[in-house]
Amino acid sequence: MAQASRSRARPVRMGIELPGTGRDPASVRQLIELMEHLLERSFVIPGINRPVGLDALAGLIPVVGDFVTAAMGAWIVWEARNLGLPKWKLLRMGANVAFDALLGAVPVAGDAFDFLFRSNTRNLRIVRKHLDRHHPQTRIIEG
């Protein structure tokens, strides 16, 4: 009996509780939050205490880095579509990802832009607001 309860516990990696693999809104919300954390706030730059993620770091690799992070951002939009967000919200989220990818592709200035503009954080905010209204059981009280 004790083993069954242990197997249901979610694993913790690097201080982050890994979400379940279910397709329910709460599990999808956790996956989107994990992806946003990975892309926008994975590391803290020493000295200035500014969090950055793979979006800013991968943007330093010409073309490929921006393409990969745009695809990861597009996954968030895809999951939002699966959650039933309205088309106008999906278009706004897609525009955030496209704007980030296009300006992030500009050499040097694009890297500074990636450091400042967080499209995935904006998209997470849209998803959270939708889920809080339409699936209130997915709310997570943050301390």
How high is the pLDDT of residue 6? 39
Name the pLDDT band for 2 (thresholds 50, 70, 90). very low
State pLDDT tens for residues 64-76.
888 999 999 999 9
8-state DSSP, 41: S
CA distances from 108 to 8, 86, 112 (A): 46, 36, 7
Q: What is the distance between the alpha carbons of residues 65 and 85, in angstroms, rounded to a whole number?
A: 28
* Region 116-125 average pLDDT: 94
Which pTM value belongs to this model? Answer: 0.80
Q: Is a pLDDT exceeding 50 seen at residue 110?
A: yes
In the DSSP assignment, the letter for residue 45 is E
Is pLDDT of 18 > 70?
A: no
- Span 96-110, mean pLDDT? 90
H or E segment to which residue 39 belongs: helix 25-40
Residue-level pLDDT at 4: 42
Average pLDDT, the chain: 84
Estimate to the nearest angstrom the gap between the alpha carbon of 48 and the chain centroid.
23
Instruction: Round to the nearest angstrom and report the end-to-end CA distance of the chain.
Output: 32
pLDDT of residue 5: 38
Cα–Cα distances (Å) from 87 to 55, 77, 78, 84, 131, in that order, read: 25, 11, 12, 9, 15
Average pLDDT over residues 47-65: 88
- The model's confidence at residue 20, banded by pLDDT at 50, 70 and 90, is low
